[in-house]
Amino acid sequence: MNVLGLCAGRPDGNTEIMMKEAFMAIEEMCGAQCRLVRVQETTINTCVGCESCMVNHLKGNWDFRCVHKNGSDHFYFIEQLMREADAIIVSSPAYNLLPTGQMIKLLNKMHASGNYRDMVEKENKIGAAFSIGGTDWTNFTLNVCKMIAMELAGSYEALVDAVHFDFMPSRGAVLLEDDVLKRMRQFGETIAAALTAKEKGEKLSYAGTPGVCPDCHGNLLEIRADGVYCPQCLTKAKLQIVDEELRVEFTREAIARNRWSIWGKRLHDDNIRKGHKKAAEGKDQIRERMKKYVDYERAVTLPEILPE
Ligand SMILES: Cc1cc2nc3c(=O)[nH]c(=O)nc-3n(C[C@H](O)[C@H](O)[C@H](O)COP(=O)(O)O)c2cc1C
């Protein structure tokens, strides 16, 4: 068995120490091989939005990868580690309330991952996520790490643990927090137990911090013109005030129509197809109208980058 830890913290920083604490528990409990990728040290080409991968994959051409060829960055190396993994842990410190930009860059690049999505949807991997912050300015960090873990594992049902800790600013600060290290050991034990359960064909359960949304365990709500939604999985919520307390309810029907359900993903793929079809049909008009904006050139010329 194989566990992959994607860690967007500093080398030997808090996130990495926490990941290693979980790894030690996993190795002791079930002997799985644990590998850590220092995401911040990777080179990942910026997705240029050419959409070649999306268009090809929507046509079922899974062999098409990316205009950035294998070997020009670390993406395919990491993707191969993901393919080999039975469990994937996504972890990041808060950078401006979010996971690090490099972690998001890796997620952006997943569009180029051939049949990875198809493969993990058919057979989920085990997923888990954790995050930390130097203060408590961390609103989106765990939610986004969970979303990334869900994409890499195949579904929110595949998530077995997720936890966040605030107020750990300096490198090594976590080493003063016995409770945090204890929780990370537990995190590892949960993953080891899930690996064993999955091998036996048993159902997995979620042991992480409960969220407001029963579907993705997220703790955010978004107010739209037609109601309140979980912004991660787009499940519509019913809100009530009972005894001066806010109650959030998600109906079975709403959960079944969340964006990551088979229904939701099909709708999304159809919407992409529809959008491309409309643009293809109107390509002459687009070309004609485009001239005005191409001629209106205001982009600055970027200076040459000098070696450090
Ligand atoms: C660019 C940058 C942005 C940061 N933004 C936040 C933030 O929004 N909220 C927060 O709580 N901590 C923030 N931090 C602090 C880190 O989350 C904190 O130092 C953490 O311990 C780093 O984890 P590591 O030791 O695993 O690298 C930021 C740090 C950096 C370098």
Atom from ligand 1 closest to the CA of residue 135: 11
Ligand 1 centroid–CA 138 distance in Å is 9
Q: How deeply is 180 buried, as exposed, middle or buried, from its count of CB atoms within 10 A (0-12, 13-18, 19+)?
A: buried
Task: Encode pLDDT of 111-169 as tens digits.
Answer: 888 889 889 989 999 999 999 999 999 999 999 999 999 999 999 999 999 999 999 99
User: At residue 5, does pLDDT exceed 80?
Assistant: yes
Establish if 227 belongs to a structural domain: no
Residues 179, 274 share a domain: no
Question: pTM for the complete prediction?
Answer: 0.95
Establish if 225 belongs to a structural domain: no
What is the distance between the alpha carbons of residues 155 and 122, in angstroms, rounded to a whole number?
A: 10
The band of 306, judged by pLDDT with boundaries at 50, 70 and 90, is very high
Establish if 215 belongs to a structural domain: no
Task: Encode pLDDT of 253-296 as tens digits.
Answer: 998 889 988 899 899 989 988 998 999 999 999 999 999 999 99
Ligand 1 centroid–CA 246 distance in Å is 31
Establish if 196 belongs to a structural domain: yes
Establish if 244 belongs to a structural domain: no
Kindly report the CATH number assigned to the domain that includes residue 65. 3.40.50.360
CA distances from 77 to 42, 56, 70, 82 (A): 10, 22, 8, 9
Residues 129, 53 share a domain: yes
Question: What tokens were used for 166?
Answer: 């605030």
Residues 274, 155 share a domain: no
CA distances from 120 to 34, 46, 270, 287 (A): 20, 24, 20, 39
Strand partners, 34: 3
Q: Is 150 in the pocket of ligand 1 (CB under 6 A)?
A: no
Residues 143, 26 share a domain: yes
Q: Closest residue (by CA) to atom 31 of ligand 1?
A: 95
Ligand 1 centroid–CA 213 distance in Å is 26
Q: Is 145 in the pocket of ligand 1 (CB under 6 A)?
A: no
What's the mean per-residue pLDDT of the chain? 94
Asked if residues 238 and 248 have their Cβ atoms less than 8 Å apart, the reply is yes
Residues 97, 31 share a domain: yes
Establish if 232 belongs to a structural domain: no
pLDDT of residue 261: 87
Residues 65, 137 share a domain: yes
Task: Encode pLDDT of 177-228 as tens digits.
Answer: 999 999 999 999 999 999 999 999 998 999 999 988 888 899 999 999 999 9
Establish if 41 belongs to a structural domain: yes
Residues 281, 146 share a domain: no
Q: Is 257 in the pocket of ligand 1 (CB under 6 A)?
A: no
Asked if residues 120 and 148 have their Cβ atoms less than 8 Å apart, the reply is no
Task: Using the 3D structure, point to which of 209, 227, 244 is the last residue of a domain.
Answer: 209
Q: Which helix (H) or strand (E) holds 206?
A: none
In 3D, which of 252, 246, 247 has the Cα closest to residue 236?
Answer: 252
pLDDT of residue 246: 86
What is the distance between the alpha carbons of residues 87 and 149, in angstroms, rounded to a whole number?
A: 10
Residues 107, 33 share a domain: yes
Task: Encode pLDDT of 87-114 as tens digits.
Answer: 999 999 999 999 999 999 999 999 888 8
Q: Residue 277 is part of which domain span?
A: 264-295
Strand partners, 188: none
pLDDT of residue 78: 97
DSSP character string of 168-204: --STTGGGG-HHHHHHHHHHHHHHHHHHHHHHTTPPP
Residues 154, 7 share a domain: yes
Task: Encode pLDDT of 41-73 as tens digits.
Answer: 999 999 999 988 888 887 888 888 888 988 899
The band of 8, judged by pLDDT with boundaries at 50, 70 and 90, is very high
Task: Using the 3D structure, point to which of 209, 231, 255 is the last residue of a domain.
Answer: 209
Strand order in the sheet with 236-242: 222-224, 227-229, 236-242, 245-249
Q: Is 35 in the pocket of ligand 1 (CB under 6 A)?
A: no
Residues 187, 92 share a domain: yes
Residues 167, 281 share a domain: no
Q: Is 263 in the pocket of ligand 1 (CB under 6 A)?
A: no
Q: How many domains does the chain have?
A: 2
| Alpha-helical regions (H) of the chain | 14-30, 52-58, 75-84, 101-109, 116-122, 141-153, 178-199, 252-256, 262-281, 283-295
Residues 187, 110 share a domain: yes
Establish if 153 belongs to a structural domain: yes
Q: Is 92 in the pocket of ligand 1 (CB under 6 A)?
A: no
